[in-house]
Amino acid sequence: MSIIVIGGHSRSVGKTSVVAGLIAALPAFHWTALKITQYGHGVCSANGEACDCATADHSFAVSQEEDRSGESDTSRFLVAGADHSWWVRTRQGQLAEAMPRIRKILASAQNVIIESNSILRFLKPDLYLTVLDPQTADFKTSAQTYLDRADAILLHAVKDSEGPVWKQVSLKPVIDCPTFAIQPPTYVTPEVIAFVRSRLA
């Protein structure tokens, strides 16, 4: 079994599009896809709605996606060709509690692709790709923490005159890392596909 993790430094930088693109480009891997979402204080991990509950059985929720409309991120994974798609929701900082359930899913999978940064605390994937957009200022702590573990960078193309708008973020940990330019709406290029295929061969 091969495990790929797709991370990114912020929301809306294209992580889901990269996952879906790789699933579609490499159907022979029979992917099981997982999206991991961590919610902040006061937001329920079971449904994403506001709540003030703090019971132990409410700290995480795992659901298998069955809808193929393409309306949700996990549905997009099925539309792209994933054999199975799962959505894992946890309270911020409590992903550890969901790991036994996640490991059961991994144990029954042929190959796995996971959208998350924080999962890297608990497993060592065969490949970790991170998506960076120099024009998005937010840079998650989890993305900074695991930046040095990236096997490749998928970098949004910008004009030469434009520098990154990140503040106090060093890219020195990935200075020698393979970097692939991406230009939305194309998030997965032939070069990215070839790189992934070669690393998993």
Going from N- to C-terminal start, the domains of the chain cover 3-200
How does pLDDT run across 50-97, given as a tens digit for each residue? 665 544 556 788 999 998 888 889 999 999 999 999 999 988 888 999
Question: Coil, helix or strand for 27?
Answer: helix
pLDDT at residue 171 greater than cutoff 70: yes
Residue 161 pLDDT: 58
Q: What is the pLDDT of residue 192?
A: 97
Across the range 16-45, mean pLDDT stands at: 88
Per-residue pLDDT, 91 = 83
Indicate the range of 22-31, 55-64, 117-126, 182-191 predicted with least confidence: 55-64
Q: Do residues 86 and 97 lie in contact, with contact meaning Cβ atoms separated by under 8 Å?
A: no
Confidence of residue 21 (pLDDT cuts 50, 70, 90): very high
Distance of alpha carbon 59 from alpha carbon 44, whole angstroms:
8
Whole-model pTM?
Answer: 0.89
Amino acid found at 155: L
> Does residue 31 sit in helix, strand or coil?
strand
How many residues can be counted in the chain? 201
* Stretch among 21-25, 45-49, 182-186, 194-198 having the lowest mean pLDDT: 45-49
Rounded-to-integer distance, Cα 37 and Cα 57, Å: 17
Report the top-level CATH class of 3-200.
Answer: alpha beta
Q: How confident is the model at residue 164 (pLDDT cuts 50, 70, 90)?
A: confident
How far apart, in whole angstroms, are the C-alpha atoms of residue 159 and residue 38? 33
Place of tokens 């099981």: 32
Average pLDDT, the chain: 88
DSSP state of 153: E
Quote the pLDDT of residue 43: 57
- Asked if pLDDT for residue 142 goes beyond 90, the answer is no
Average pLDDT value for residue range 140-159: 89
C-alpha dist (Å) from residue 143 to 13, 24, 64, 131, 164: 12, 25, 26, 10, 16
